[in-house]
Structure 1
Amino acid sequence: MALYVYAIVAENHPASVEEMSGVGSESAPVRVLASGPLRAVVSDISEEIRPKRRDLLIHQEVQERLMQGGPVLPLQFGYTAPDEATVEEVLRRDADSYLANLERLDGCAEYHVRASQDEEQLLRQILRETPEAQELNERIRSGEEDPQLPLALGQLVAAQVRERQEALASGLVEAMVPFSREHSIREASGDDFLNFSLLVPEDRKQEFLASQANLAQEIEDDVELRLSGPLPPYSFVQ
């Protein structure tokens, strides 16, 4: 039977998941599959798994339970294997790599930081503080019909937005990275101008959280800093 695979842990991990039910419309018990010095946490599956809310929550709950017992290599949602033999073979073949990753992640959790900025306030700030933008805006408002004026103003404002947000993002990253063992910066999307993850050791957790809280208070009112965590270290599994 096909298996849904949640995570990989070391043989000394308690993996206390016996009472948990897995993903899928016909939930099977979550169980542990052993191979050498490693364990895969799995459940039987008889269907194609799609990212429904219920199954996403179950996947995350299993990861969080495992985190309580020691380092874990969490798999992204939706990973399946055709049978037990395939999982066992992968664990045997890549044992050294998995063990090295578990050692690297031991005692750490992932924290995810996003930042966004109120667009209207930022645009007003740029118009207020940039003489060239003020001049172009006044010429447009006065009725000047040069069709290049709106384009020039738009390009100037876009450049200012990018420059200011890149500088702000760089400053936020620089302030938080010292509390992490590793970090990963991703391309921001939507209204966000910052999207990055940090691998924070347990012994730096309180310092990190205090620093993040101070930053949230110190940054301008139009900037929203959002923190998620502690999370399974998805971003740092190699």
Structure 2
Amino acid sequence: MSLHLHGIVRANHRLPAGSPFRLVEVEDLAVVVSDRRDDRALTEQEATAALAGLCALVPGGPVLPLRIGTTAVDETSARTAALALGVAALRDHLTRLDGVAEMHVRLMFDEDVALRAVYDDLALTGNADMATVIAQGEQIARKIVAWRRTLADTLLAPVSAVASSVALLDPPEHTEEHRAFLVPLDQVEAVRGAVAALGGVTAICTGPLPAFHFLELSPHDSPPASRWGW
């Protein structure tokens, strides 16, 4: 039986009641692990459960999330993996994340509204050949991205004001804006309220999450990111 490695915490971190996690101590830190019963890749459902488990760790203190799907053959290997990341650097990261967490905001704009907003700035040509049509489509997409980003800056200004860091995430559609914010835990409800109060756009707020997008914990020879992006 091998282990799933979920994250790095302080050795005195309080684990959620009833969780499958246990701590493998490394000096004053610990690796959060759970048993890995099968030698296979995680399913989508298991990856979602792993993310939920990481989120449940946040109330107990700062968490440095490891890439979902990271494994080790035993506790000794888990300690070795943590040491490879540099204990001093891990301590610094944990200190920086004391009292903060990542929040995600997803804004979904109506496509007709977006097209009307950028239409006057477009230089479209009628009866165009296929290459021109493709170029025009790319031009429209670029204009919409610029429009939605400027509008999102305004709409999300109250959230940005309480965040210590902001990251732009890749959205699936050109009419969507996804951002990650590193915010104080005591501002989580205020962020949710600010997003819920937004008008003229469909908005979804998710979190608090471990700081997936504000850390780089991988050794230089690590494999590429998982298909879930963490």
Do the aligned partners of residues 3 and 180 (structure 1) sit closer, same or farther apart at CA in structure 2, a change above 3 Å counting? same
Aligned equivalents of 1:52 and 1:159: distance in 2?
32
Deviates more, 1:99-108 or 1:57-66: 57-66
- CA deviation after TM superposition for structure 1 residue 213, in Å: 3.0
Structure 2 equivalent of residue 105 of structure 1: 97
Structure 1 equivalent of residue 57 of structure 2: 66
- CA deviation after TM superposition for structure 1 residue 80, in Å: 0.7
Do the aligned partners of residues 178 and 66 (structure 1) sit closer, same or farther apart at CA in structure 2, a change above 3 Å counting? same
Work out whether residues 35 and 88 of structure 1, in 8 Å CA contact, stay in contact via their aligned partners in 2.
Answer: yes
Answering whether residue 3 of structure 2 is matched by residue 12 of structure 1, we say no
Match for 2:153 among 146, 159, 170? Answer: 170
RMSD over aligned Cα, in angstroms?
Answer: 2.9
Answering whether residue 39 of structure 2 is matched by residue 56 of structure 1, we say no
Work out whether residues 106 and 205 of structure 2, in 8 Å CA contact, stay in contact via their aligned partners in 1.
Answer: yes
Structure 1 equivalent of residue 178 of structure 2: 195
Structure 1 equivalent of residue 166 of structure 2: 183
Q: When you count helix as a share of all residues, which structure comes out higher?
A: 1
Do the aligned partners of residues 153 and 61 (structure 1) sit closer, same or farther apart at CA in structure 2, a change above 3 Å counting? closer
Work out whether residues 41 and 69 of structure 2, in 8 Å CA contact, stay in contact via their aligned partners in 1.
Answer: yes
Between the aligned residues of both structures, percent identity stands at: 27
Match for 2:34 among 10, 33, 43? Answer: 43
Structure 2 equivalent of residue 3 of structure 1: 3
Structure 1 equivalent of residue 228 of structure 2: none
Aligned equivalents of 1:117 and 1:166: distance in 2?
11
Work out whether residues 37 and 95 of structure 1, in 8 Å CA contact, stay in contact via their aligned partners in 2.
Answer: no
SS class of match (1:109): strand
Aligned equivalents of 1:158 and 1:191: distance in 2?
6
Aligned equivalents of 2:67 and 2:151: distance in 1?
31
Structure 1 equivalent of residue 222 of structure 2: none
Query: 1:37-81 CA distances to partner (integer Å, 9 max, x unpaired)?
Result: 11111123241222331x124313321332221111122321112
Query: 1:97-150 CA distances to partner (integer Å, 9 max, x unpaired)?
Result: 1111111111112110111212133334555xx2977xx79xx6xxxxx547x8
Deviates more, 1:227-236 or 1:103-112: 227-236
Aligned equivalents of 1:8 and 1:131: distance in 2?
50
Work out whether residues 116 and 191 of structure 1, in 8 Å CA contact, stay in contact via their aligned partners in 2.
Answer: no
Work out whether residues 118 and 147 of structure 2, in 8 Å CA contact, stay in contact via their aligned partners in 1.
Answer: no
Work out whether residues 117 and 191 of structure 1, in 8 Å CA contact, stay in contact via their aligned partners in 2.
Answer: no
SS class of match (1:123): helix
Work out whether residues 145 and 175 of structure 2, in 8 Å CA contact, stay in contact via their aligned partners in 1.
Answer: no
Do the aligned partners of residues 171 and 155 (structure 1) sit closer, same or farther apart at CA in structure 2, a change above 3 Å counting? same
Letter in 2 for 1:227: C
Match for 1:114 among 63, 81, 106? Answer: 106
SS class of match (1:114): strand
Structure 2 equivalent of residue 26 of structure 1: none
Answering whether residue 66 of structure 2 is matched by residue 75 of structure 1, we say yes
Letter in 1 for 2:90: Y
TM-score w.r.t. length of structure 1: 0.74
Work out whether residues 141 and 174 of structure 2, in 8 Å CA contact, stay in contact via their aligned partners in 1.
Answer: no
How many equivalent pairs are there?
Answer: 212
Structure 1 equivalent of residue 87 of structure 2: 95
5+ residue gaps, structure 2: 217-230
SS class of match (2:76): helix
Aligned equivalents of 1:110 and 1:162: distance in 2?
24
